[in-house]
Copies of this chain bind each other. A is one copy, B any other.
Amino acid sequence: MYDFSFQSPVKSMAGRGKFRSIGEFTGSKKILLISDKIISSMAFYGEIKELLKGRIAGEFAGVMPNPECEMVDEAVTLCKSCGADCVIGIGGGSVLDTAKAVAVLSCEEGKTADYMAGKALGRHRQELILVPTTAGTGSEVTNVSVLTDPKINKKLSLVDPILYGDIAIIDPCLTETMPKRVAAASGFDALCHAIEAYWNIRTSPLCEALSMEAVDKIVKNIYPACNGDGDAQEEMVIASYIAGISFNQTRTTVCHAISYKLTSDYGIDHGLACAFTLIPFLRYESEDPAVKAALDRMGRYCGFSGSEALIDEIDRLYDAVGLPRHLSDRGVKPEDVDAIVDAGMAVPITKLCKREVTREAMHRIITDLL
């Protein structure tokens, strides 16, 4: 008995060199470019500026990781003052999430913090083009913008169909410059997206098919991609995009739920903060016979005998790409575990796992990771 919904309205163009078509999608609009310090110094960013010459009304290159309300307000103010009616975000998840919020909030009067506190987003936004430069977040195809309110030190998600972009440009040329550390963590972020959409109570045959395809690509390509193989990097950005479409239908689950506090309180990068708990939760979820059967199918799709061999391979890859194993190395102390579990259990998406995540299980898993 099926019960699901599916929609993926962002028109996505994928291919090597696609970013050079960016001028075709913007017409005669006045453009605000949003990026960060590193991206805005890249050669491809200069090339994009050249392609859009005469149409750029403003540039905001000040996005920081885990974008905060006030920074978004600053970009919104610039968008209004420069009269831009098209926002182009070029960067990782933080840049894309900022660009999505700016495209909507620049048509509104309120402050970003108001909307994070529950005020409804309006029904209008500027034209919105999203160009990922990492292979992980999937933000280019989701209706979510994850922002941080420093007053309450909390990551919160704005979720609304108005946050879907018009166009996503998935170009492996733009992810080649990722440092290995970023490629590893963002690749595991994408793996979390695919798997959390798969063991999700909201999954569907479409999400299952897309997640299996994404996991197959990630498992085969994350290691060579982290070591500079261009073909593998291309597979990774496609896989991240596919995983984005999948989890956009379902939302993520427990690994993401736990990650928020690890990022807010311990400064752990988003991708790594999610990756830390993926493997123990894969083993936990697969103790449920129905989840095991589904993961067995995913394992066979990826060329393994079943779920155990797949999980073992993910475990091996975790070390191979150099991700750290111990939360204690990141400043998490045994006395912190209760608070992390409290926070993780309180995030509603934890309840989307097919096998119910108990407080005891989460406590044990986090303790084992110290």
| Closest partner residue, chain B, to A301 (CB atom) | B301
Q: CA separation between A213 and B298, bound complex, in Å?
A: 12
Asked whether A14 is an interface residue with its Cβ less than 8 Å from the other chain, the reply is yes
Closest CB of chain B to A54's CB: distance in Å? 26
Asked whether A319 is an interface residue with its Cβ less than 8 Å from the other chain, the reply is no
The stretch of A66-74, A202-210, A281-289 in contact with B is A202-210
Task: Provide the residues of chain B in CB contact with A7, threshold 8 Å.
Answer: 8-12
Task: Provide the residues of chain B in CB contact with A12, threshold 8 Å.
Answer: 5-7
Closest CB of chain B to A307's CB: distance in Å? 17
Copies of the polypeptide in the assembly:
2
| Closest partner residue, chain B, to A208 (CB atom) | B213
Asked whether A325 is an interface residue with its Cβ less than 8 Å from the other chain, the reply is no
| Closest partner residue, chain B, to A16 (CB atom) | B1
Q: CA separation between A18 and B6, bound complex, in Å?
A: 14
Closest CB of chain B to A239's CB: distance in Å? 8
Asked whether A234 is an interface residue with its Cβ less than 8 Å from the other chain, the reply is yes
Q: CA separation between A12 and B206, bound complex, in Å?
A: 12
Asked whether A13 is an interface residue with its Cβ less than 8 Å from the other chain, the reply is yes
Q: Are B217 and A14 closer than 8 Å at their CB atoms? A: no
Q: Are B15 and A1 closer than 8 Å at their CB atoms? A: yes
1/0 per residue, CB under 8 A from B, across A155-199: the answer is: 000000000000000000000000000000000000000000000
Q: How many residues of A contact B (CB 8 A)?
A: 32
Closest CB of chain B to A15's CB: distance in Å? 4
Closest CB of chain B to A357's CB: distance in Å? 25
Task: Provide the residues of chain B in CB contact with A360, threshold 8 Å.
Answer: none
Asked whether A238 is an interface residue with its Cβ less than 8 Å from the other chain, the reply is yes
Q: CA separation between A14 and B5, bound complex, in Å?
A: 6
Q: CA separation between A60 and B6, bound complex, in Å?
A: 29
Using A9-B8, A14-B3, A14-B4 as known contacts, say yes or no to A210 and B217 having CB atoms under 8 A apart.
no
Asked whether A272 is an interface residue with its Cβ less than 8 Å from the other chain, the reply is no
Contact of A209 among B5, B8, B15, B209 (CB under 8 A): B209
Task: Provide the residues of chain B in CB contact with A238, threshold 8 Å.
Answer: 2, 205
Using A205-B217, A205-B238, A213-B209 as known contacts, say yes or no to A13 and B5 having CB atoms under 8 A apart.
yes
Closest CB of chain B to A304's CB: distance in Å? 13
9 A-B pairs whose Cβ atoms sit less than 8 Å apart in the complex: A1-B15, A2-B14, A2-B238, A4-B13, A8-B8, A9-B9, A209-B209, A209-B212, A209-B242
Residue numbers of A with Cβ under 8 A of B are: 1-16, 18, 204-206, 208-210, 212-213, 217, 234, 238-239, 242, 245, 301
